[in-house]
Structure 1
Amino acid sequence: MATAIWNDDTTDDKTGFWQSGHTPTLIAAFLYFDFAFMVWVLLGPLAPEIAKTLMLTPAEKGLMVATPTLAGAILRVVNGLLVDRIGPKKSGAISQIIVIVGLFVAWAMGVNSFGGTLALGVILGFAGASFAIALPLASRWYPPEHQGKAMGLAGMGNSGTVLAALFAPGLAKLFGWNAVLGLACIPLTLVFVAYMMMAKDAPNAPAPKSLGQYLTPLKTADAWSLMGFYAVTFGGFVGLAASLPIYFTDRFGLTTIQAGYCTAACVFAGSLVRPMGGALADAIGGVKALTAVFVVAALALAGVSLAGSVEAALALFVCAMLALG
């Protein structure tokens, strides 16, 4: 029904966005990305309860929530190569199966050690690597003038981190944190079914490149600079999304549910302004926009160190996430 309405809005413009691509694939890419991001940061909202059960040290808690992020960064390269060889739909299906099976096994067998949390974190890294699959899956259907919109809509799936922060602590309180791993398989399975029904690889996909060709951009200084900037901005966003539940519970003694709500507010703010950031970059240029982002984020995070109340810390973290998102 939604597709019909969108098409009706552009019936007089055959080159319009909704007419130029494949809407079911775009929706499938968004759903895949959204729920993949939800489970990618799942260990963050569960970290306070996991730490109590397994008696983890602060360093172990930090490594536990960092492992999915690190694994996701590495696996994005693997998924990118896979997409060019077997297509994004098959690549996404393989990745989703690995995550669903991994979570199911973790729930069925139980995660009883620090090493077990790290192993689960590596599996969840496949969810974080969905970035390299969902975006080409959606954008390849659209001409250059509409690819930005397609990637923006599919990329809004990073809002899935809000779902983890909102619901994981409450479900953990009701059923136990290990049960949340099994419960997460339910929406993931539903999304997988929808994905297989709706997603379709675009025709005329680019031919796979040799490994040497993939490494060519690394010869330019700008590529390294942009990777560094991205590591700070998006890496900071994801890192805070996973770590804030620990911060709010340890620093201010909030319950895991309260910490989840605070984290969800921060993450939602960052996700909401992403399209606005693109518009700002178009208006004043990427360099000026990025400079403003770094200044605001740095001042806000510096202010957190001086915050004496949860309200002040929350406001400053929201500002930081608005910039990093």
Structure 2
Amino acid sequence: MATAFWNDETHDTRSGFWASGHVPTLIAAFLYFDLAFMVWVLLGPLAPEIAKTLALTPAEKGLMVAVPTLAGAILRVVNGLLVDRIGPKRSGAISQMIVIGGLLSAWMLGVNSFAGTLALGVILGFAGASFAIALPLASRWYPPEHQGKAMGLAGMGNSGTVLAALFAPTLAKLFGWNAVLGLACIPLAIVLALYLVMAKDAPTAPAPKSLVEYLAPLRAPDAWWLMGFYAVTFGGFVGLAASLPIYFTDRFGLTTIVAGYCTAACVLAGSLVRPMGGALADRIGGVKTLTAVFVVAALALAGVSAAPTVGSALGLFVLAMLALGTGNGAVFQLVPQRFSAEIGVMTGLVGMAGGIGGFYLASSLGLAKQLTGSFQWGFLIFAGLAVIALAGLTLVKGSWRREWTAAQGVRI
């Protein structure tokens, strides 16, 4: 049955994926995550129009689209603690209502200053923090042998960034960018209603953790390595998702609608390959997968810095996003191998690091544009971070393979 659930006493290891968990909750987690990610990066596609209205500098534009990413990163830890105490369903409902309330207020009152965009960005951070809610909501219903599938399906909600890139510029052209903030509340409210009806907390929730317990994995150097790798892979993905509309309009003079289509193509590539990245890491090992990811991402981003045409830039961005999306799946193949007992905690901490990486990339691109007149150095420095990540992976992979393979018997 679709509504069956797993616990230590009732689970039959021979049951299939769909029968082993709670399908309505899985669907609700995906929808919640998808729409939350849509509004998390909403300021990116709207940034060219907002910048014209408010006369923002390149650095201010970069910071505006980066703030939701940083706020989402910090709030992921907050949401992780909240999920432990009141459950993921309630936590998700509260977060969604905060986002809807913030967007409605911004639409009704208007966003008339740079400070106002930053305040709105903090509110949108609650949407970005949905990662720490949607994944536990879905995964707690499923047994260990189906965790990868459950987290992969729920995690595909990051494809919501495509919706923002596709529709926000067109709606802004038709109704004005401020109206888009109000219009976004319609699908959010519909999904919230479905979420409240369909989602259900698993009956086997772990005991709540204190803040000290929650941060305990940070005492292990491996946690910092994994966070650093995700800061490059997911940070690159979300940083580019937020910044590409600005890049395409400023660098090549594209209209906001065409820039949105170009951004959507890049983001879609990175979203779709995330589950494939996890599957590839299962087959050849997370270390080998990440090695290829960092090489390809560094070369593609370095190439973008000097791309002379829209076509060459778009092709290189798609290549970079394919690599980064694959890396996102690969990192989360490695996390449970080392921190199986702290997977919930590490999901929040690694996710937080990814958000910080995205904040850095988006803000640095704007700063590079203002200081040098070009985005080039922003891309080159982030390509350099990918090279540093590759060097770090090379440094630790030997000990990881000896220790983790001996302990877990898995391919890394």
Please report the TM-score for the alignment, with normalisation by the length of structure 1.
0.96
Matching of residues 1-325 of structure 1 within 5 Å: 15-325=15-325
Q: Deviations along 1:98-156, whole A, 9 cap, x unmatched?
A: 00000000000000000000000000000000000000000000111111110100000
Q: Deviations along 1:63-92, whole A, 9 cap, x unmatched?
A: 000000000000000000000000000000
Local SS of the residue matching 1:158: helix
Distance 2:212 2:243 in 1: 37
How far the C-alpha of 1:176 sits from its partner, in A, is 0.2
Structure 2: gaps of 5 or more residues: 4-12, 326-412
The one-letter code sitting in structure 2 at the alignment partner of 1:165 is A
How far the C-alpha of 1:211 sits from its partner, in A, is 2.0
How far the C-alpha of 1:210 sits from its partner, in A, is 2.1
Distance 1:235 1:144 in 2: 28
Local SS of the residue matching 1:243: helix
How far the C-alpha of 1:274 sits from its partner, in A, is 1.0
Distance 1:55 1:36 in 2: 28
- What residue number does 2:382 align with? none
Q: What is the number of equivalent residue pairs in this alignment? A: 316
How far the C-alpha of 1:212 sits from its partner, in A, is 1.9
How far the C-alpha of 1:276 sits from its partner, in A, is 1.4
* C-alpha contact (below 8 Å) 1:14/1:20 kept by paired residues: no
Q: Deviations along 1:163-198, whole A, 9 cap, x unmatched?
A: 000000000000000000000000000000000000
The one-letter code sitting in structure 2 at the alignment partner of 1:48 is P
Distance 1:211 1:100 in 2: 28
> Percent identity among equivalent residues?
86
Local SS of the residue matching 1:90: helix
* C-alpha contact (below 8 Å) 1:46/1:172 kept by paired residues: yes
How far the C-alpha of 1:280 sits from its partner, in A, is 1.2
Local SS of the residue matching 1:203: coil
Distance 1:277 1:187 in 2: 30
- What residue number does 1:8 align with? none
The one-letter code sitting in structure 2 at the alignment partner of 1:177 is W
Q: Deviations along 1:235-267, whole A, 9 cap, x unmatched?
A: 110000000000000000000000000000000
The one-letter code sitting in structure 2 at the alignment partner of 1:285 is G
How far the C-alpha of 1:14 sits from its partner, in A, is 6.1
Distance 1:274 1:65 in 2: 23
Distance 1:23 1:162 in 2: 24
The one-letter code sitting in structure 1 at the alignment partner of 2:121 is G
* C-alpha contact (below 8 Å) 1:73/1:129 kept by paired residues: yes
After the TM superposition, list the runs of 4 or more consecutive aligned residues in structure 1 that deviate by more than 6 angstroms: none
Distance 1:211 1:128 in 2: 21
Distance 1:99 1:14 in 2: 41
